[in-house]
């Protein structure tokens, strides 16, 4: 009887050993699973979203000064407002326009009427909408379609306008209004992320001869090329602002002073040697 107690204790201890080993094994497996899960977390396998191309132009020119005085005088000889009439815009950095019109009265020989309008539209690059250039290309297509669908237009024709921006289309048509025959030319051009739309038309009044459609188109293309060239000038002006010029001058003066000091030192060394 007395020997059976120690023996029973040994049996219970041995029986408990496998349970402890199983528990240890489960604990080890749990730790391995957790480590494996952390090494393949979704955050480590994500890829960055591609960015769109930055917009080329950040500003628009002043629409009423985008065409030179000589151009206005040639195209609208008797303009009512030489400086043009600016169109309404809530943000002139993205949308701006200006127009001129006038009647050149030649007495008994009749009168010549001319009307000129230039409009600029700029697009910023947007991650969800696309690059400024892509958005401007879509607007370019839209404006060409709009010009070709002018109400009551006759003899509508469209052709590429060479040498105007990165892409350009000239749309011509005839239109009868106020009892006179008008000749129209609209040139739509794109440069970078900016669309330029220039419309020029004319008519002869009081027996005056109707202007040539070819001449109206030629003048419109010339003016459109000038308007496109004005895009980006404001950005360039910002880079050469008075503050930037002052900084450059200060830098030049500093360089001059350093040169003078170095020159004095070199002169002193030369005197010592002699």
CATH number, domain containing residue 75: 3.40.1000
Residue 32 lies in a domain: no
Residue 107 lies in a domain: yes
Q: What is the total count of domains within the chain?
A: 1
| Rama region for 152: left / alpha / beta (φ>0; ψ in -120 to 50; rest) | left
Residue 198 lies in a domain: yes
Q: The pTM is what?
A: 0.71
CA dist., res. 186 & res. 176, Å (int): 16
Residue showing tokens 């009427």: 113
Residue showing tokens 């440069």: 191
CA dist., res. 67 & res. 51, Å (int): 36
Residue 247 lies in a domain: no
CA distances from 13 to 16, 36, 60, 87, 218 (A): 5, 35, 90, 98, 108
Per-residue pLDDT of the chain (274 residues; tens, 9 = 90+): 455 555 545 544 444 444 444 444 444 444 444 444 444 445 445 566 779 999 999 999 999 999 999 999 999 999 999 999 999 999 999 999 999 999 999 888 899 999 999 999 999 999 999 999 999 999 999 999 999 999 999 999 999 999 999 999 999 999 999 899 999 999 999 999 999 999 999 999 999 999 999 999 999 999 999 999 999 887 776 666 554 444 444 544 544 555 455 555 444 444 444 3
Residue 27 lies in a domain: no
């Amino acid at each position: 009887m007395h020997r059976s107690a120690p023996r029973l204790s040994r049996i219970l201890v041995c029986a408990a050993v496998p349970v402890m080993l199983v528990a240890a094994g489960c604990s080890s497996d749990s730790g391995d699973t957790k480590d494996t899960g952390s090494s393949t977390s979704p955050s480590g396998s994500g890829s960055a979203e591609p960015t769109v191309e930055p917009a080329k132009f950040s500003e628009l020119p002043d629409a009423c000064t985008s065409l030179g005085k000589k151009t206005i005088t040639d195209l609208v000889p008797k303009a009512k407002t030489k400086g043009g009439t600016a169109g309404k815009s809530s943000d002139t950095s993205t949308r701006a326009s200006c127009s001129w019109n006038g009647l050149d009265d030649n007495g008994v020989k009749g009168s010549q009427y001319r009307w000129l309008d230039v409009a600029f539209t700029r697009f910023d690059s947007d991650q969800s909408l696309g690059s400024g250039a892509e958005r401007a290309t879509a607007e370019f297509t839209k404006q060409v379609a709009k010009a070709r669908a002018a109400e009551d237009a006759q003899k509508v024709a469209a052709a590429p306008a060479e040498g105007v921006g990165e892409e350009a289309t000239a749309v011509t048509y005839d239109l009868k209004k106020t009892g006179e025959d008008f000749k129209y030319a609209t040139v739509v051009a794109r440069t970078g992320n900016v669309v330029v739309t220039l419309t020029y038309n004319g008519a002869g009044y009081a027996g005056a001869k109707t202007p040539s459609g070819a001449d109206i188109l030629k003048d419109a293309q010339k003016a459109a090329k000038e308007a496109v060239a004005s895009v980006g000038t404001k950005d360039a002006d910002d880079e050469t602002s008075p503050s930037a010029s002052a900084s450059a001058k200060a830098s030049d003066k500093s360089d001059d002073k350093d040169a003078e000091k170095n020159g004095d030192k070199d002169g002193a060394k030369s005197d010592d040697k002699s």
